[in-house]
Structure 1
Amino acid sequence: MSLPAALLAFAVSGGLGAAVAAADPPRPQAKGAIGIVLLEAPENRMDDPRARIFIVDHVNPGTTFSRRLQITNSSPRRQHVKLYAAAADIRQGRFTFAPGRTQNELTSWIKLNRPAVDVPPHGSSQVTATVRVPEPATKGEQYGVIWAQVSTGRPNARRNIALVNRVGIRVYLDVGPEGEPPSQFRIGEVVPHRLDDGRPSIAATVRNTGERAIDLSGQLTLSDGPSGIRAGPYQVPPGTTLAPDQTGRVTIPLGDRLPDGPWKFQLTLRSGRITHTVSGSLAFPANRGRGRPAALDSSMTTLLALTALMALAGAGTLFVVARRQRPAAR
């Protein structure tokens, strides 16, 4: 069902252009749960899947912009939902949430038009989050979450535990006077494994070579296995997030009955607008543990080498430009 036309008209200050209703529908909820979904994304990011789910943007210091959020209630009872922004970070390949209402610089810029909403049974309510970035804001990317929270009961003499359920929208906001920093990543070693229970899996090392955080998704297919069999596609489990310069590992569990191989494989990983694919051959170990690293196709090996050389050359060029421009900045 399309959103009413009136919801499509939304002005954003600070040179971001118009914001339009996000195309992705709210995700399914468990019975009796609350949910939160982003209703808008910047017009210039409608081709970025991440910007339809999370608040992902680059702005200049002094910019103010807003986003509409929808809070949903799938329970048969009215829910009193508290709303607030709290700090987040990226550690060890995961987007991590600070405890409670812990604040950081980014969350101090986020104001919600209502601190709480009463959402009717099987209904929804909308709220607006306004982000005011001050002129002296720290340059670079910062992370936070806009939380919707319900609590069941309060601690008392008979019960010292209150259950808290919260769902959130991540915020990835980069601040700087220049254009948006580039996003990029590189797929490195691909290694087959067998888990303790004998199931096969494949792990790929990924390095964030850009200047914005990345959230990895994608799929893996196997072909030309014993007797010519094929397997997949297997979806990359969600949850791997890498900050700039971080290296992590994407692990894809596979079917229980896959033979050792050899196999041809094709692994595609994506984050937002960026997609990379590697292919080659591999064989799973007969016993649990790590197997031999996959042999990448020669064209892909050459491409990885060229990418590394270009990164080194680019770093040198940036250093020279910075040295030349420094006197003019006085």
Structure 2
Amino acid sequence: MPDPRIRRAASATLLALLLQGLATAPAALADGPERPENGTIGIRLVEIPASRVDDPRARNYIVDHVNPGTTFTRRVEVTSTSPKPVRAQVYAGAAGISKGRFTFEPAGVTNELTSWISLNRPEIVVKPHSSETVKATITVPEWAGEGERYAVIWAQVSSGPATQDKNVALVNRIGIRTLLDVGPGGEPPTDFEIGDIVPHRTEDGHPQIVTEVANTGERAIDVEGLITLSDGPSELSAGPFPVDRGTTLAPGDRANVSAMLGEDLPDGPWKFTLTLRSGRVERTADGTLTFPAAAGGWGLAASLDSPPALVLTLTGLPVLLGTAILLGMRRRRMRRRIAAEAAAPQDDLV
């Protein structure tokens, strides 16, 4: 008969692994399959501040800017499609941004922002195929320093604690990102830059574009967007194709963003329009690109329709040469980063 201590240790390890199986969804964060009793749980914001009605992120996340000493509320709705009542814990958990991703911690881990969040109903029972509303109150102390903080408001459903007869306790949770900026005056600027746009073919031959995005503003950004191709061989057009979602950059960060294109696209040349956005901020790049013929190959960086003006004088020539060298170094750095990301172990993402 197995030693009970070993069984308990295995239960704790499996639970920790389950909590590390993280995923992101457009309206929320999900940790686990969100399937209580053959149904699903969901969570959403049910109110948007009047000052942010034109901000797409405010429909899904709490992304406010407030002064120290401010108190405000947000209502969230927890839904269930289960045929049985579902008991859920609602709480605030610590989060952050690392390596181009919004990251979040297991239950019980807190930070400064979570200590400012209180919930009027820390535990709810959702009736079958129904919903319940919870009010979150965020109280920013007078002494709070300037800067952006991150947290998640979670709704969590558990199958019960692990026992000697049941080695695994399933914990499913889904939550709403909270990106709260604190400081006097108006909101800090949000901005980003699009770097070189490089055509690529994956190892299985699918065309892809990869570009480096740099957060040049003072608030975190969530990058999404579309690319459209036109004026291709035989006047072909294609798209729009969505940019892979899930890239979040803190101020000063940069990361590669990619988009997979249609499987049977010829090499080109193609005209393209790439539009990236985060909230209210949108940037567009137009130009011409050609995909490499070989699987796993990289093409030349796209030629933009409106490149930065360069003054070709004797004094400006060293600047031009320096720029060309920097562009070559950036492409090599991008290729190394793509290779490193492909080789690194990945979390189990839904």
TM-score with structure 1 length normalisation? 0.81
Q: How many Å apart are 1:178 and its aligned residue?
A: 2.4
What do the CA deviations read for 1:166-210 (whole angstroms, capped 9, x no partner)? 100000100012221110111111011111111111111111110
- Whether the 8 Å CA contact 1:265–1:279 is kept in 2: the answer is yes
1:41-190 correspondence runs (5 A): 41-190=48-197
Q: How many Å apart are 1:69 and its aligned residue?
A: 0.3
Counterpart CA distance in 2 for 1:166 and 1:265 is: 40
Q: How many Å apart are 1:108 and its aligned residue?
A: 0.4
Find the counterpart in structure 1 of residue 301 from structure 2: 293
Structure 2: 5+ residue stretches without partners: 1-25, 311-350
- CA RMSD in angstroms comes to 1.9
Count of equivalent residues: 278
Give identity over the alignment, percent: 58
Higher relative contact order (CA 8 A, sep 6+): 2
- Whether the 8 Å CA contact 1:205–1:248 is kept in 2: the answer is yes
TM-score with structure 2 length normalisation? 0.76
Counterpart CA distance in 1 for 2:309 and 2:159 is: 57
Find the counterpart in structure 2 of residue 313 from structure 1: none
Counterpart CA distance in 2 for 1:124 and 1:135 is: 35
User: Are residue 245 (structure 1) and residue 252 (structure 2) matched?
Assistant: yes
One-letter amino acid of the counterpart of residue 172, structure 1: L
Look up the SS of the partner of 1:102 in the other structure: coil
Aligned CA distance change for structure 1 residues 123 and 137 (closer, same or farther; 3 Å) = same
Counterpart CA distance in 2 for 1:26 and 1:190 is: 29
What do the CA deviations read for 1:142-183 (whole angstroms, capped 9, x no partner)? 111000010123211122211111100000100012221110
- Whether the 8 Å CA contact 2:286–2:304 is kept in 1: the answer is yes
Counterpart CA distance in 2 for 1:129 and 1:236 is: 33
Aligned CA distance change for structure 1 residues 300 and 167 (closer, same or farther; 3 Å) = farther
- Whether the 8 Å CA contact 1:278–1:300 is kept in 2: the answer is no
Q: How many Å apart are 1:237 and its aligned residue?
A: 2.2
Q: 2:212 aligns with which of 205, 215, 219?
A: 205
Q: How many Å apart are 1:244 and its aligned residue?
A: 0.4
Counterpart CA distance in 2 for 1:141 and 1:220 is: 31
Counterpart CA distance in 2 for 1:71 and 1:61 is: 29
Q: How many Å apart are 1:41 and its aligned residue?
A: 1.5
User: Are residue 275 (structure 1) and residue 258 (structure 2) matched?
Assistant: no
- Whether the 8 Å CA contact 1:279–1:300 is kept in 2: the answer is no
Counterpart CA distance in 2 for 1:263 and 1:253 is: 15
What do the CA deviations read for 1:58-96 (whole angstroms, capped 9, x no partner)? 111111000000000011111101111011111111101
- Whether the 8 Å CA contact 2:27–2:61 is kept in 1: the answer is no
Counterpart CA distance in 2 for 1:89 and 1:25 is: 18
Counterpart CA distance in 1 for 2:155 and 2:244 is: 25
Q: How many Å apart are 1:296 and its aligned residue?
A: 1.1
Q: 2:224 aligns with which of 217, 221, 225?
A: 217
Where do 4+ consecutive residues of structure 1 move more than 4 Å? Answer: 24-27
Find the counterpart in structure 2 of residue 11 from structure 1: none
One-letter amino acid of the counterpart of residue 198, structure 1: G
One-letter amino acid of the counterpart of residue 257, structure 2: V
Look up the SS of the partner of 2:64 in the other structure: strand
- Whether the 8 Å CA contact 2:28–2:177 is kept in 1: the answer is no
User: Are residue 263 (structure 1) and residue 262 (structure 2) matched?
Assistant: no
Counterpart CA distance in 2 for 1:99 and 1:193 is: 37
- Whether the 8 Å CA contact 1:144–1:171 is kept in 2: the answer is yes
Aligned CA distance change for structure 1 residues 121 and 135 (closer, same or farther; 3 Å) = same
Q: How many Å apart are 1:286 and its aligned residue?
A: 1.0
